[in-house]
Amino acid sequence: MRAFFEGIQWLFENIFFIPQDYLRELELTNWFAANIINWIFMAICAYATWYWCKQLTMHKASGEENQDTTAHSFLTK
């Protein structure tokens, strides 16, 4: 059983963590390049927030949005 868990350890340390090891070494020379994944996620989240706000504005302008507090039956109890 111990060999099984050591095999999992070897798989993660020597195979799955290769990208993280590369980014850790890259951080010493270029911080922005090492955090490129974070920059990509921040850009995606910023775009999604902008798109969501745009859609909310469109629905409010067309009158499709129901702002009545009794729109859901569980809110009237």
Domain for residue 70, yes or no?
no
Domain for residue 17, yes or no?
yes
Q: Is the pLDDT of residue 8 over 90?
A: yes
Q: Residue 58: which domain range?
A: 2-64
Domain for residue 28, yes or no?
yes
Domain for residue 54, yes or no?
yes
Domain for residue 8, yes or no?
yes
d(CA 39, CA 33): 9
Domain for residue 71, yes or no?
no
* pTM for the model: 0.59
Comparison of pLDDT for 26 and 50, the residue scoring more = 50
At residue 65, the pLDDT reads 72
Domain for residue 74, yes or no?
no
Count of domains in the chain? 1
pLDDT band at 64 (very low <50, low <70, confident <90, very high): confident
